[in-house]
Amino acid sequence: MSIKVFILAREEKIFHVDFFRDVLNSIPKDYEVVGAALVKNKDSIIKSMKYVYSIGGFKGTIKLIWLMLVKYADEALKNKSYLSVENVFKKKNIPVLIIQNPNDESFILNLSKYSPDIIYNSSPNILKKPLLSLPTLGCVNRHAGKLPFYRGIEPVFFAFLNGESSATITYHKMDEKIDGGEILWEHDEMIGVNDSVYTMYAKLFEASKQSFWHSFDVLRNGDGVPVDITKGEYYSYPSKCDIINFCQKGFRYI
């Protein structure tokens, strides 16, 4: 029998459309994506742009807008059905739910009807025990930081700020501790002299496409490595001091 996978995601158009399109185009024979749920975005586009402006400044914000316009134009010319994450799933005839919060009791009850073996989470929500304990094999998260050293928010930004020579992408089995659980797969990407936080995220997304399904194999085999959260750091959003230091060191956000 196939391993049943349910995907939790959000409508993010810069990286997630390409990511899920390529992942769904390479489903192994022993896996089946039985459904997906998109968590409604809490932040408006304006709020997101204000955040980018706070770190990347005017030039960074304009550059991001330009990159998004070029991407949308390219996707529209190729195939209009791939302009959103929702349409990527629909193109593959995967049922899609639009939800407010994956921890809601009503959603968990609905999700249980799919009998998932694995839940893949790329939503911004912290999953709680009732949801984490639902799939037979566990919940898997993709995190753009080396665990346990770069837990939390903006790990790539802080890798730059701390002078790291590389950034890490990690798949891990989730538990109730944020960015804890078990490491299923990790990969280091070297930070080049011309790289920005944006270009490194792009590289990490590209690298993680290749091992999406492999991480599930590791989970099935019970070969995950426990994350020792007594080590490393948990990062929150960059402070004004962090942003000033980042810019003074000549780094770029976009």
Q: Where are the domains of the chain?
A: 3-248
- 75: which 2 tokens? 């996707």
Compute the distance between CA of residue 68 and CA of residue 90 in angstroms, rounded to an integer: 22
Fold of 3-248: Rossmann fold (3.40.50)
Read off the DSSP letter of residue 81. G
| Tens place of pLDDT per residue across the chain (254 aa) | 899 999 999 998 889 999 999 999 999 999 999 999 999 877 667 778 888 888 988 888 898 888 888 877 776 666 655 678 999 999 999 999 999 999 999 999 999 999 999 999 999 899 999 999 999 999 999 999 999 999 999 999 999 999 999 999 999 999 999 999 999 999 999 999 999 999 999 999 999 999 999 999 999 999 999 999 999 999 999 999 999 999 999 999 99
Angle at 105 between CA 101 and CA 108, to 5 degrees: 80
